[in-house]
Amino acid sequence: MIFDEFKKPDSGGLLDTAERIIKDGIADFQEGAKGFMKSIRSRTIPSDGEPSELKLAEASWATDPAGKDWRVKLSIPNIQSYNESPLIGQLKKTGGLCFPYTPTIIMQHSANYNALTPVHSNYPFYAYENSSVDAMTLTGQFYAQNSLEGAYWLGCLHYLRSVTKMFYGQSSNQGAPPPVVKLNGYGDYVFKNVPVIITNFTLDMPTDVDYIAVNLAQLEKNAKRIANTDTSPDEKGQIAYVPVESQISVTLQPIYSRSEVEKFSLDAFVRGDYVGKDKGFI
């Protein structure tokens, strides 16, 4: 009995006996707690902290299985040089230059009137002249956290550089202006195959962010190996450095052919007959 130990003269005193009993109780509690935590961890953590089988997933651009992709994107011109470009080929996985994060879009429509100001009159008269769909500005953030996203960033830059140049010199289509591309985004009722020309783009490369190295040659070789079309040994490719965070701003001007404008019907436009069609009237 505990009380019997307190009565013994050689027990070291009442305080020593109480201290020894408390320490023994704490030790027993700690041992029980360790066993309890060990039994819980064994259910969730594998032995030695290593899983029995490690599976690594390939990074890829997500697509909507239902085929209703409402992301904002600019199409790739159906021109041979664009189709053969390995850099622009990075954009084919998303059907064109796709803004991975929701961009800021500023658009403006104008109805222009001419003010008629008769002499000695307080109120001018306004005569309608024309209407116009003015230039739009798209501004979006781009993040590159791996080689796949870095290669996509490079493809976007090369795409914008290409579509703002004419076919000059020894080009295949000498004298042709920069190509017309299609703008899509947010469903059929907002932007559906709107023909636009890119009049300006800006890209910031900040100083306060990290830059990652991207080996495009190695990415292309890996893609071929996955498709079992390339078994050549690895070779050192050219390296490009991409900011992990940047912002791209694109200025678009909607443009329509004369033949399509001649067939335009405001009645059909008001009824929504052009919605979902390839005319691209907005």
* 156 and 207 belong to one structural domain: yes
Contact 234, 221 (CB under 8 A): yes
The reported pLDDT for the residue numbered 237 is 56
Angle between helices 216-226 and 147-163 (to 10 degrees): 110
Residue 134 in any domain: the answer is yes
Encode pLDDT of 148-194 as tens digits. Answer: 899 999 999 999 999 999 998 887 888 899 999 999 999 889 999 99
Half-sphere exposure of 187 (CA within 13 A, CB side): 1
Task: Give the pLDDT confidence score for residue 144 in this predicted structure.
Answer: 93
Q: Is residue 279 part of a domain?
A: no
What kind and span of H or E run contains 141? strand 136-143
Gap between the Cα atoms of 230 and 222, Å rounded = 8
- Helix (H/G/I), strand (E/B), else coil: 44: helix
Residues 20-71: pLDDT tens digits?
667 766 766 666 655 655 555 555 566 555 566 656 555 555 555 556 788 9
Domain annotation covers residue 57: no
| pLDDT tens per residue across span 110-159 | 999 999 999 999 999 999 999 999 999 999 999 999 888 999 999 999 99
| 212: Cα within 13 Å, side-chain hemisphere | 18
Instruction: For residues 190 and 87, state if they share a domain.
Output: yes
Percent with pLDDT over 70 in the chain: 70
pLDDT at 229 (0 to 100): 47
d(CA 91, CA 159): 9
Per DSSP, the three-state class of 210 is coil
Residue 43 shares a structural domain with residue 107: no
Report CA Rg, the chain: 34
Domain-embedded: residue 181: yes
Give domain status of residue 118, yes or no: yes
Read off the pLDDT of each residue in 92-104 and give the average, rounded to a whole number: 92
Spatial contact of 98 and 71, defined as CB atoms under 8 Å apart: yes
List for the chain the helix, strand, coil content (%; round to 5): 30, 25, 45
Structural tokens at position 272: 């929504």
Whether residue 77 sits in one domain with residue 45: no
Instruction: Answer whether residue 45 is part of any domain.
Output: yes
Residue 266 domain boundaries: 73-271
Residue 209 lies in a domain: yes
Q: Do 196 and 125 share a structural domain?
A: yes
The residues near 188 (Cβ < 8 Å, ≥ 6 apart) are 275, 276
Mean pLDDT estimate for the chain: 81
Structurally, the chain folds into a number of domains equal to 2
Please report whether residue 142 resides in a domain.
Answer: yes
Any idea how long the chain is?
Answer: 282
